[in-house]
């Protein structure tokens, strides 16, 4: 499966499309719609690493540029937070252990699963604090910008973290040719 994913991503890149691997650390075994309800993926660590995380690891080794986080909870990795809000899953596992240096985005944040469980402000701050670079489909994009600005000015989120995220996003746009410096 990992080889097929790599070949598909290579084809997308060749066609001028930025491939995004999703939903880290994996939703393959889930049979409910994670847009409607926040699922719990009750797999042992070794199962997650040998099955779900395996294609991501292979993709990272081949240089994938972007990963979308899952809205599911993985109790073996983080008992409380969904992956998209988990500093341990994003910073310790994805960035640290797996060495991913590309852009990390949330799954859609305007879906009932997130909307019913978190305020818009909490979802935005949790995702960015955990290490996400992009909030996908915030409920109100202008409000999201305001929430981020307010969180930075009050010290909840560091300006350095925002600058690092912006740098990754700009680098991806430049590398993919969708934006140039002129």
CA distance 105 to 96: 17
3-state secondary structure of 15: coil
Q: What contacts 159, CB < 8 A, 6 or more positions away?
A: 152
* 107 is known as an active-site residue: yes
Query: 76, 106, 79, 75: which is closest to 90 by C-alpha?
Result: 106
Burial-class residue 36 by CB neighbours within 10 Å (0-12, 13-18, 19+): exposed
Name the active-site residue from 35, 46, 78, 116. 35
* 35 is known as an active-site residue: yes
CA distance 37 to 14: 35
Name the active-site residue from 23, 52, 88, 107. 107
Query: 163, 131, 133, 128: which is closest to 148 by C-alpha?
Result: 128
Residues marked as catalytic: 35, 107
């Amino acid at each position: 499966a990992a080889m097929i994913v790599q070949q598909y991503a290579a084809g997308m890149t060749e066609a001028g499309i930025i491939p995004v691997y999703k939903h880290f650390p994996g939703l393959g075994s889930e049979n409910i719609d994670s847009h409607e309800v926040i699922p719990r993926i009750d797999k042992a660590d070794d199962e997650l690493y040998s099955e779900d995380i395996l294609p991501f690891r292979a993709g990272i080794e081949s240089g994938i540029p972007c990963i979308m986080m899952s809205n599911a909870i993985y109790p073996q990795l983080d008992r409380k937070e969904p992956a998209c809000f988990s500093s341990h899953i994003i910073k310790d596992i994805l960035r640290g252990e797996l060495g991913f240096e590309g852009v990390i985005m949330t799954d859609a944040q305007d879906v009932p699963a997130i909307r019913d469980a978190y305020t818009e402000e909490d979802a935005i701050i949790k995702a960015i604090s955990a290490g996400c670079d992009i909030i996908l489909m915030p409920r109100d994009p202008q409000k999201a910008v305001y929430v981020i600005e307010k969180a930075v000015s009050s010290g909840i989120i560091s300006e350095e973290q925002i600058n690092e995220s912006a740098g990754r996003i700009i680098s991806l746009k430049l590398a993919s040719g969708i934006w140039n410096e002129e």
